[in-house]
Structure 1
Amino acid sequence: MSIRVRRVYDPPEPGDGVRVLVDRLWPRGLSKDAARVDEWPKALTPSTELRRWYHAGEGAYEEFAERYEAELDAPEASEQLDHVRELARAGDVTLLTASKTPEQSHATVLVRLLNG
């Protein structure tokens, strides 16, 4: 079992396993065929308000991560988090994001929670 994060714009690799898009918006300029997304659990994505707040530079990554974790306590998000955890128990999972800095994105928070 492995969970990793990749940019959705990078070409798919054989070791990706189940490819899960974890962005609320579809990646700009990318066709669904090229993305090869297997799952798109929108309830796992940060809310529009939180995403806008973070991208506006109004807060630090640590505060963003705390707020995002709080959002993931919602029933639908928690259910989808458990679903992705089950996928990871069965094999490899790649979380896909359009973020230019995946290491400072919500995807990193997800990996930590999924591995925890």
Structure 2
Amino acid sequence: MIRVRRVYDAPEPAADGVRVLVDRLWPRGLSKEAAAVDSWPRPVTPSAELRKWFHAGGSAGEFRRRYEAELAEPAAVAELERLRGLAAEGPVTLLTAVRDPASSHAAVLAELLGAGAG
């Protein structure tokens, strides 16, 4: 099972499983202890260039296309496989600081991880 949640929400130990931060930057104002992050795999986070492009007015569809292209890079592919392995063993929660995780890169990542897990 792969979940997507805000990193600022309180951890749910019984449901979260492995907590994976999928943002390129550490969440503002949050201590490492409070975040309770188990893994921070930067190869699967959107690049700084992609984030800047999107925040300057890029479209969601084009963002997804560019992000998926970044996830096709060898380091990202290896990390995706590692995350799929973790998900096969138990719950994995993808954490992001964005206000709407369901409409973010974390949701795209969760979808790709789920699609590759079968």
**TM-score class, shorter:** over 0.9
Structure 1: segments with no counterpart, 5+ residues: none
How far is the alpha carbon of 1:68 from its aligned partner?
0.1
Q: Who is 2:66 aligned against?
A: 67
How far is the alpha carbon of 1:26 from its aligned partner?
0.3
How far is the alpha carbon of 1:56 from its aligned partner?
1.5
What SS does the corresponding residue of 1:10 show, helix, strand or coil?
A: coil
Q: Supply the AA of the counterpart residue of 1:54.
A: F
Q: Supply the AA of the counterpart residue of 1:56.
A: A
Q: How many residue pairs end up in the alignment? A: 114
* Alpha-carbon distance between aligned partners in 2 of 1:13 and 1:66, rounded to the nearest angstrom: 32
Q: Supply the AA of the counterpart residue of 1:49.
A: E
Q: Who is 2:9 aligned against?
A: 10
* Alpha-carbon distance between aligned partners in 2 of 1:82 and 1:24, rounded to the nearest angstrom: 19
* Alpha-carbon distance between aligned partners in 2 of 1:28 and 1:56, rounded to the nearest angstrom: 20
Q: Supply the AA of the counterpart residue of 1:88.
A: A
* Alpha-carbon distance between aligned partners in 1 of 2:10 and 2:34, rounded to the nearest angstrom: 8
The percentage of aligned residue pairs carrying the same residue is 65
User: So what's the TM-score if we normalise by structure 1?
Assistant: 0.96
Q: Who is 1:36 aligned against?
A: 36
Q: Who is 2:27 aligned against?
A: 27
User: So what's the TM-score if we normalise by structure 2?
Assistant: 0.94
* Alpha-carbon distance between aligned partners in 1 of 2:44 and 2:29, rounded to the nearest angstrom: 22
Listed as ranges, the matches of 1:84-103 within 5 Å are 84-103=83-102
Structure 2: segments with no counterpart, 5+ residues: none
Which digits, 9 at most, give the CA deviation of each residue in 1:48-83, with x for residues without a partner? 0001111111x2111101100000011001100110
Q: Supply the AA of the counterpart residue of 2:43.
A: A
* Alpha-carbon distance between aligned partners in 2 of 1:8 and 1:47, rounded to the nearest angstrom: 19
How far is the alpha carbon of 1:3 from its aligned partner?
0.3
Structure 1 residue runs of 4+, over 6 Å off?
none
Q: Who is 2:108 aligned against?
A: 109
Which digits, 9 at most, give the CA deviation of each residue in 1:94-114, with x for residues without a partner? 000001111221101101100
How far is the alpha carbon of 1:16 from its aligned partner?
0.3
How well do the aligned residues superpose, as a CA RMSD in angstroms?
0.6
